[in-house]
Amino acid sequence: MQEIYTQSQEQQAVVSTNKVLKNTYMLLAMTMAVSAVACGISMAMNLGHGVALIMNLVAIALVWFVLPKTANSASGIYVVFAFTALLGASLGPTINYYLQTANGSQIIFQALAGTAMVFFALSGYVLTTKKDFSFMRGFLMTGLIVVLLAAVAMIVAGFFGVHMPMAQLALSGAIVLLMSGFILYDTSRIVNGGETNYVMATVSLYLNIYNLFVSLLHILGAVSGDD
């Protein structure tokens, strides 16, 4: 009897995990579409970097203060769409900048292709092997703190007219590695039942993809001499 009960629990866990996976990737695909449309509108309106910064700050406020309170309700989905639309629109000025350079279109395409390859390869690996990457949590959190402190330091230095292109390039490289690790970690959490809320799971994967793309864009731009 105990064995039958245990098997039933395991089956329910598998069904629940598969449901979270399905809902996460469906919502992720929709948020990507929303971001692309928002980015296109932002580009057409020729919004400036100041407006993009404000959008980023509002997006951060949404994900920090609003989303945790709405993640378990239908309104959480609307918050996710608003969040991803703001981040997508904030990319408009950056994309417009690269499009004005000689190799801009090629750089953007390469960044998109590279982001897609990394995401599908790493996610596919976890989905296939179901390997548990929870052991990476401490390393990833430490890396995230270091990257954030370095980014703030460079912003402060920029206000005083100190520009460090090589340090910025190194930071972008570190973010690429960090986001790759987070893709493994976050996908693993969904697959192994560590994340049961598909709204939060979607936001995590979206941020991984977003930061990975932006960092690859900066790296490719720097290498080509367009940054």
| Tens digit of each residue's pLDDT (9 = 90 or more) over 139-189 | 999 999 999 999 999 888 888 888 888 999 999 999 999 999 999 999 999
* CA atoms lying within 13 Å on the CB side of residue 29: 6
| pLDDT confidence band for 15 (50 / 70 / 90) | confident
Buried-exposed string 201-223: b where 16+ CB fall within 10 A, e elsewhere: bbbbbbbbbbbbbbbbbbbbbbe
Distances (CA, A) of 28 to 43, 178, 213: 22, 20, 15
Separation CA 151–CA 167 (nearest Å): 10
Query: Given this model, what pLDDT does residue 79 score?
Result: 97
Summarised one tens digit per residue, pLDDT across range 41-85 is 999 999 999 999 999 999 999 999 999 999 999 999 999 999 999
| pLDDT confidence band for 13 (50 / 70 / 90) | low
Query: Given this model, what pLDDT does residue 145 score?
Result: 96
Amino acid 129 reads T
pLDDT at 217 over 80: yes
Query: Given this model, what pLDDT does residue 162 score?
Result: 85
Residues contacting 198, CB < 8 A, separation 6+: 19, 20, 23, 24, 27
Query: Given this model, what pLDDT does residue 98 score?
Result: 94
pLDDT at 5 over 50: no
Give percent above pLDDT 90 in the chain: 80
Specify the higher pLDDT residue, 181 or 15: 181
Query: Given this model, what pLDDT does residue 165 score?
Result: 87
